[in-house]
Chains A and B, each alone.
Chain A
């Protein structure tokens, strides 16, 4: 009788162990998904802000139509790239970042514009949006790291695969992102 009880207790403890590991993995995977959604939220916020910015500077910058056009087109491309997968979207968003950087470089040449409260406040909003996008990506990577670690450590590694958990990929900057954006004053 006693060996049976001992065996039952051992089985119970093992089952409990597995349950705890499973729950931990589910929680961490959901955090990864949530972090991914947060990136989308911040990207959309940037898309929504840009028309306001373009309108605010349009009147002052008659000679810089090329740059404004670049920004507007890049924004359109980024929005449509949203449905074409992570890699395409990341690339389009990076192009938009480059276009915005060109725009702000040009704004430096217009003292009236630099002092304009509307433009200053929009600049701050865009600064924070760019920061939010990179922090959202950074946090996403942190959740991926935690999840992947949980998958690969012992003893989780023994049961994670059979339970259907797979490794997630980090967000990585596209090769183009390492290039310095060209400021087109044409």
Chain B
């Protein structure tokens, strides 16, 4: 009977020319989807609102810390910090969710930007088209209604979820109108659908041109060398189906079983070329794959706030119960990051960190000569200062110098105000970053530690406009560590550039050499930067 044939070859031959027209409903579906720019707006804007929301939340938080009354500011710091951690984990979930839902939309966000404006123009035209076709009207209204309904549903959810402001509601209703008009057109086009059959018959007639095409190909080779190479790759394969058939049959007899499994080498080469051409598209179609860019460098800047997890004071036990407050300071530096894979990276760098911390309700005075006054002593040059709780120095002086009748009374000139401690560190962080969400928009979990090298340390007493430098604290370690945790929000502007915003919490492990100090300082900051990847 007939010869045996490899199963692959059987399918390859049968499917070689396989082409079949889809039902008209597919185009209608595409048409109506394309005419719904609202979908993009609905989903993309909330994503940015979330980002903006986080930024706003953090800004509020820090403002609250900075400007809240000096009373209870230590508690405030602790509380707000806990809030922050809670909130950020919430938003993290939201990000994950929204990414899951919007995976398609996000990728297309940029592409659609144009579409939105375009289709709003064309919707007017579409509308007038639709009016001319009365017969289709009833049907199209049906479609429009159902779409209106679904848009409306989504709209309500949207508002409930996001507390959308009135502006947005207005835009949505505009979109509804657009939607409706575009649907009309979608149905109208089903008329035109029948044209496609004509087209395909014309196609097959013009196939006879293929010989001309081959000649042309050679003629054009010089002018379009690259392009035509591509064309030959593809055309050989698809155009010469007839010729190939014979060739394929010959091959069939000679080919061993491994070759049989493969398709034409031409198609393989063509596929390879296409692979490159769509590398970009694929990047947006799915999760960002590792693009081989291992290094990135980012200048960073952050407002930092200093606080303590406990009531104590680093200056003296006497001030443990005094109100403390923190000023906003600046940290800036450069970060270098090495990407181990697409999600995981290790980073380091160097930052200058300025910290500032106030102890309120104190009193300070130049220590009168030869008097052994109790209190916290500072010496700056030739001047000795004594600092105590507000309103205590007068009594201490009286206790230290018993008044005698013949000696002139010793007086003290005490000023009430606050002690301002200023620290300046060089920070070398070593941190790890893991991407929880790895799309164009990335959400990273950050953790690590920093080495701090004390650069400068000053204590300043302030009373109204009066400022006196008291010198420096003796109990600060010149080398200490912090443990760091944080969240990173990144957005890839281009392949090379990425903007980032990273709220970080850094807890100091051993800032003081004096073990008795019950003061557990931390600082936190929102690090923003623009990184260059290479």
Asked if chains A and B come from one complex, the reply is no
Interface residues of B (CB under 8 A from A): none
